[in-house]
Amino acid sequence: MNYSTATETPPFRFRLDPHTGVPVYRQIIDQVQGAIAMGVLRSGDQLPTVRLVAVELAINPNTVMRAYRELEIRGFLDTQQGTGTFVADRPDSITQEDRERMLFQLVGEFVARAGAAGVGVEELMSALRHFAKDSRADDNQPPDNATQPRRKS
């Protein structure tokens, strides 16, 4: 019997916050989109199975399926029967008009959510500047291979 000495990187994990008022399926969608946008998940990366996510988060599998299905409809994921759910290949060439429309929609959703939580636009802008500064500082750190998701072959 052959044993591999290579360590397998841990799969992408979801974290739920029950205090936000955001539906669970929406939190899953947001986390996948955020991970793709930040490069944590890349084209071809496999997401955890519906069953695994449901068990780990103690939620109904239909909730996970709903999030994965919506992400698939939006073109973020590809589900291959019997193989799993993977981050889809997305074209890099997106028109400036489409990019601006998506950005406007994201900002609108973000501001609305923040407003519902009692956070004002000025607070958001300050937090975004802080986040951007922290993100740039993180870019100067060497990559931690233990946090990289698995890739399909």
Whether 120 and 83 share a structural domain: no
> Is 145 part of any domain?
no
pLDDT mean over 43-65: 95
Q: How confident is the model at residue 149 (pLDDT cuts 50, 70, 90)?
A: very low
Q: How confident is the model at residue 80 (pLDDT cuts 50, 70, 90)?
A: very high
Whether 29 and 69 share a structural domain: yes
Residue 66 has pLDDT above 80, yes or no: yes
Whether 65 and 110 share a structural domain: no
Residue 7 has pLDDT above 60, yes or no: no
Q: What's the pLDDT score for residue 148?
A: 41
Q: How confident is the model at residue 43 (pLDDT cuts 50, 70, 90)?
A: very high
Looking at the structure of the chain, the number of domains it has is 2
Q: Which domain holds residue 112?
A: 92-140
Residue 5 has pLDDT above 50, yes or no: no
Whether 41 and 60 share a structural domain: yes
Tens digit of pLDDT for each residue in 102-137?
788 888 888 888 898 899 999 999 998 888 787 666
> Is 129 part of any domain?
yes
> Is 38 part of any domain?
yes
Q: Is the entire prediction scored with pTM above 0.75? A: no
Q: How confident is the model at residue 147 (pLDDT cuts 50, 70, 90)?
A: very low
> Is 76 part of any domain?
yes
Q: 15 near 31, Cβ under 8 Å? A: yes
Q: Which contacts qualify for 90-96: CB closer than 8 Å, 24 or more apart?
A: 90/43
pLDDT mean over 47-71: 96
Residue 90 has pLDDT above 80, yes or no: no
> Is 5 part of any domain?
no
Q: 66 near 73, Cβ under 8 Å? A: no
Q: What's the pLDDT score for residue 76?
A: 93
Residue that finishes a domain, picked among 90, 111, 128: 90
Whether 35 and 77 share a structural domain: yes
Nearest-angstrom CA–CA distance, 121 and 125? 6
Please report, to the nearest 10 degrees, the dihedral formed by the alpha carbons of residues 36, 40, 41, 46 taken in order.
Answer: -150
